[in-house]
């Protein structure tokens, strides 16, 4: 990895980690279910989907893939925090919240990624006409 690529990766990672930190510190919940982790996972999946569509057509250089897809989205989304929240629900005998957390994070993140791709391809279609 060249220094320029490393810098792009690091900049994306710092930006993603900072945004995740800011969002996860907010008191956001639906009832007893905190949705901070859901928000960062869905947002990151949407950005990754949009970026993947743009990259497919526009053939971005590797440094931009490192910046957005690997650095930013990789640091913004968080599987480990999701697992910790689920484990905490299980520790507190809240099985239904644990299951809901898993289904919501996986399901909504996948939907967000697909929507990001669709919007990206739609935008590209408009630009290329």
Burial of 26: CB neighbours in 10 Å, binned 0-12, 13-18, 19+ = exposed
**% pLDDT > 90, the chain:** 85
Q: What is the pTM of this model?
A: 0.90
Residue 69, CB-side half-sphere exposure with 13 Å CA sphere: 18
Total domain count, the chain? 1
State the pLDDT confidence band at 33, using cuts at 50, 70 and 90: confident
* Averaged confidence pLDDT in the chain: 94
Its sign, for the CA torsion 93, 95, 96, 99, is positive
Mean pLDDT along residues 33-37: 91
Tell me the residue range of the domain where 45 lies.
3-127
């Amino acid at each position: 990895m060249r220094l320029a690529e490393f810098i792009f990766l690091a900049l994306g990672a710092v930006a993603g980690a900072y945004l995740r930190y800011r969002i996860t510190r907010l008191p956001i919940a639906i009832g007893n279910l905190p949705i901070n982790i859901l928000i960062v996972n869905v947002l990151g999946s949407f950005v990754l989907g949009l970026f993947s569509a743009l990259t497919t057509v526009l053939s971005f250089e590797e440094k931009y893939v490192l910046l957005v897809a690997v650095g930013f989205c990789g640091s913004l989304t968080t599987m480990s925090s999701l697992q910790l929240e689920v484990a905490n629900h299980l520790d507190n005998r809240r099985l239904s919240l644990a299951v809901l957390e898993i289904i919501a994070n996986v399901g909504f993140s996948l939907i967000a990624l697909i929507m990001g791709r669709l919007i990206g391809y739609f935008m590209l279609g408009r630009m290329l006409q």
